[in-house]
Amino acid sequence: MLRNERNFGSPRDRVDGRAKVTGAAQYAAEFNAPDLLHGYVVSSTIAKGRITSIDTQKALDVPGVLKVFTHDNRPATAWFSSSYQDEVAPPGTPFRPLYDEQIYYSGQPIALVVAESFDVARYAASLVEATYEAGAHETDLKLARAAAYVPPKKRQGMKPPASKGDAMAAYAKAPLRIANDYSIANEHHNPMEPHASTVIFEAGGKLTIHDKIQGVMNTQSYVSGVFGLPASDIHVVSPFVGGGFGSGLRPQYQLFLAVMAALDLKRSVRVEMTRDQMFTFTHRPETINTVLLGADKTGRLSALRHQAVAVTSRFEDYQEVVVNWSGILYDAENKQFDYRIAKVDTYTPGDMRAPGAPLGTFAIESAMDELAYAGNIDPLELRLRNYSTRDETTNKEFTSKELRACFQLGAEKFGWSRRSPAPRSMREGRELIGWGMASGCWEAQFSKTSAKAVLTSDGRLEVGTATADIGTGTYTILTQIGADALGLDMEQVTAKLADTTLPKSPVEGGSWTAASAGTAVQMACEALKKTLLQEAQKIEGSPLADAKYEDVVFANGRIAMADDAGRSLDLSDVVRHSGQSEIEEQATAQPDSKVQAQYAAYTHSAVFVEVRVDEQLGLVRIPRIVNAVAAGRIINPKTARSQVTGGTVWGIGMALHEESLTDHNLGRFMNHNLAEYHVPANADIYDIDVIFVPEEDDKVSPIGVKGLGEIGIVATPAAIANAIFHATGKRIRELPITIDKVLREAA
């Protein structure tokens, strides 16, 4: 593929930067419409049971209230729960808001108050009174796991790897043995922008929807399925998404409620969730891993067993990849994997930044650290001794794997060789110092994506695809790719995203967008260039009349002969001569099934952490982290570094702060606000050094890109826990590692 790379591979400022720093960027709740109505959600106060009555009269009596929607008066929507399926739905029967009197979880939406103003809707919502007949609920995984089961229907590609040999027998004979449980608390995504939908009701009943969603096509097909509208009547436009991290993959209940109200009242409606309602749909599932390792005296693994059990809801079998990561990182003659889920009375968990990966990786990489101490082997050396050179879980070769280089460059940058091996052997003042490390991987996915490339008569290029930029830098990298392809400056290129009128794309997630949308844009640009040459050759007396495509270059807004710059045409002249106002081409990128059958593709990372632990106060600080990542080619080192930095901050949150605390008596997440649900604040974050290890990969995607959204978080929690052990001699196997656990006596 022709590569004219002025921008690809170079740090570039975000093209949407000005919009974001001036407040001009518009998010879902910030679109307006004449006579816009405001909806406010009333949430259930019990976790299980049924509504016996719901009194809305007091709310209706408030001047300015138009209607209160409940299960009693909900307008007709699709009958079958399958109509509520969306692109990302796990197996099961999706939740249907206001469907009937049944309560499935605490905080379930039970009414929507619609009023002329937000203040009135909020006040009136406080007057809605529901009475319930409560049922017996269960929200505790430790109890529910007794009924855990292997999900009968798998989410695509989410099967644990096959077992091999006899892991238990090999474990019994092994000179070095580790067997422990490793658990991770429920977490909530908490993007800064609360979920919101603004539904604009237009003449003829068509809808324009501004939804907080990571894929506008998913919103469109969901609304179409639930409300029976043709897709052509549903225009979804969500140019800016204030963080998603997975919470915006599936359409959430505010969308349903806003569309329902708009169609019923024939008015435009906005429904915004409150921060506490952000705890009433989807979360990272509490997960308990059990890992068993057996190794010879040199640390070479002979037995590996990784089991996990995670929560799901009563109505859907949410699943994620937790145990597979062990088998991808390490091979053992005897191994066994098992993943089960257990039903509890909460909403269905959902994908949250690197779903499953940091959970399983925390377990295996903690266990490997324990094995290193048991065998008196350097933790980095132990990983090198067990380095997998092919993916035994899928029985495929890696497209590329530069994890060794991550280890080497990361260790050098960190100064790992200066580590004193014994726990509690490093100290400064009142702080114990610990150095820990871990490695991780994430699947480098590639999803079918279409894009367009349009050249206008003023010589500007527009590239577009329906995917989202949730802060990932998608606008910027697609602008870079387009500019390079046509030989234009980035200022002459506009990227359009998140609009259902654009060529189809899957949701933005799984770290596949840069590779997939990037390739699609590149292909659309290549198609456009061929068309432009053809049009150029139709011009009378064209200096390019006999040129072959291989012989021309696109640069400085012109098509020119590569060996004779004098023979050239201005791109805008080519468009004008074509008789059209613009020239457009589209292309669809899809994975090569032959390559996929033969190869497995992963992004890798090695994380090195220094912690400082105040033993008297139990406070943990993380003054520095080195996160060395091998992710193929990097399109924009500036935004890429931000992605990995952000992922690393998420890893710190998982390791030290984040936990959705449940009162099992009430069956409710209790810390449903940002004061009590701790996410890292500025003062928690010190130096994060991101290294991109060179990695050439011509198989993972046509542009050699692997994706970066997830990898930053994957190995970070394990590396922190390992560093805390090195500092304190205390092995803490439950995340988050809060002060009480640090102060707890060593087990």
Partner 1 sequence: MAPPAKATSAPFHAQTVSLTLNGENKTLQVEPWTTLLDLLRHDLRLTGTKKGCDHGQCGACTVLIDGERMNSCLQLAIMQDGKAITTVEGLAGEGEDLHPMQAAFISHDAFQCGYCTPGQICSAVALVNEGRAKSRDDIREMMSGNICRCGAYPNIVDAIEEVLAEQQSGSRHLEAAE
Q: List residues with catalytic annotation.
A: 710
Residues 687, 694, 698, 739: which binds partner 1 (CB under 8 A)? 687
Distances from the Cα of 321 to the Cαs of 252, 314, 374, in angstroms? 23, 20, 28
Minimum separation from the CB atom of position 509 to partner 1 (A): 14
Q: Are 251 and 54 in contact (CB under 8 A)?
A: no
Query: H/E element holding 607?
Result: strand 602-614
Q: Could you write out the DSSP letters of every residue in 27-52?
A: PGGG---TT-EEEEEEE-SSSSEEEE
Segment interacting with partner 1 (CB under 8 A) among 56-64, 74-82, 317-325, 533-541: 56-64
Question: Is 195 an interacting residue with respect to partner 1 (CB under 8 A)?
Answer: no
Judged by CB under 8 A, the chain residues 103 through 142 that form the site for partner 1 are 115-120
Separation of alpha carbons 574 and 114, rounded Å: 54
Only one residue has tokens 């605390």, namely 661
Question: With respect to partner 1, which residue has the nearer C-beta, 276 or 584?
Answer: 276
Q: How many Å apart are CA 663 and CA 672, to the nearest integer?
A: 12
In 185-300 the beta strands, taken as DSSP E runs, fall at 196-201, 207-211, 234-236, 269-272, 287-295
CA distance 245 to 310: 19
Least separation, in Å, of the C-beta of 163 and partner 1?
38
- Candidate list 243, 423, 543, 729; residue touching partner 1; CB under 8 A: 243
Q: Is 471 in the site for partner 1 (CB under 8 A)?
A: yes
Q: Which is nearer to partner 1, 167 or 209 (CB)?
A: 209
Specify the residue for token string 């909530």.
Answer: 188
The whole-angstrom separation of Cα 93 and Cα 569 is 59
Q: With CB under 8 A as the contact rule, which of the stretches 20-28, 255-263, 535-543, 607-615 interacts with partner 1?
A: 20-28
Minimum distance between the CB of residue 208 and partner 1, rounded to whole angstroms? 17
The answer to whether residue 414 forms part of the interface with partner 1 (CB under 8 A) is no
Residue of 10, 45, 64, 731 that binds partner 1 (CB under 8 A): 64
Q: Which of 295, 649, 705, 724 binds partner 1 (CB under 8 A)?
A: 649
Please give the Cα distance from 401 to 548 (Å, whole number): 38
Tell me the site size for partner 1, rule CB under 8 A: 69
Query: Nearest CA to 413 among 624, 626, 623?
Result: 626
- DSSP state, residue 597: H
Question: DSSP assignment of 345-382, as one string?
Answer: SSPPP---SSTTHHHHHHHHHHHHHHHHHHTT--HHHH
Stretch that binds partner 1, among 29-37, 98-106, 390-398, 497-505 (CB under 8 A): 29-37
In angstroms, what is the minimal distance from the CB of 462 to partner 1? 22
Nearest approach, Cβ of residue 119 and partner 1 (Å): 6
In this chain, which stretch among 23-31, 311-319, 394-402, 529-537 interacts with partner 1, using CB under 8 A?
23-31
Which segment (57-65, 296-304, 509-517, 575-583) binds partner 1 by CB under 8 A?
57-65
For residue 682, state whether it binds partner 1 (rule: CB under 8 A): yes
Least spacing, CB of residue 691 vs partner 1, in Å = 14
Contact flag: residue 482 with partner 1 (CB under 8 A)? no
Q: Phi and psi at residue 209, in whole multiples of 5°?
A: -120, 125
Say whether residue 491 binds partner 1 (CB under 8 A). no
Give the DSSP H or E segment for 522.
Answer: helix 513-538
> CA separation (Å) from 441 to 339, 374, 707, 710?
19, 25, 12, 9
Q: Does 474 bind partner 1 (CB under 8 A)?
A: no
Name the helix (H) or strand (E) containing 60: helix 57-60
**Per-residue string for binding with partner 1, 274-293, x by CB under 8 A?**
xx------------------
CB of 483 to partner 1, least distance (A): 18
* Contact status: 98 vs partner 1 (CB under 8 A): no
Hey, how many other C-beta atoms are within 10 angstroms of the C-beta on 26?
16
- Specify the residue for token string 């908490």: 190
Shortest Cβ 471–partner 1 spacing (Å): 3
Nearer of residues 3 and 20 to partner 1, judged by Cβ = 20
Cβ pair 160, 308 in contact under 8 A: no
Nearer to partner 1, 94 or 194 (CB): 194
253 binds partner 1 (CB under 8 A): no
Q: Among 4, 30, 166, 570, which residue sits at the site for partner 1 (rule: CB under 8 A)?
A: 30
Question: Which tokens belong to 623?
Answer: 């003054």
State yes or no: residue 355 binds partner 1 (CB under 8 A).
no
Radius of gyration of the chain (CA): 27
Closer CB to partner 1, residue 20 or residue 430?
A: 20
Nearer to partner 1, 618 or 637 (CB): 637
Angle between helices 637-652 and 716-728 (to 10 degrees): 50
Q: Name the minimum Å distance from CB 728 to partner 1.
A: 24
Which residues contact partner 1 (rule: CB under 8 A)?
13-14, 16-27, 29-30, 32, 62-66, 115-120, 190-194, 240-245, 272, 274-275, 470-473, 638-639, 641-643, 645-650, 673-675, 679-683, 685-688
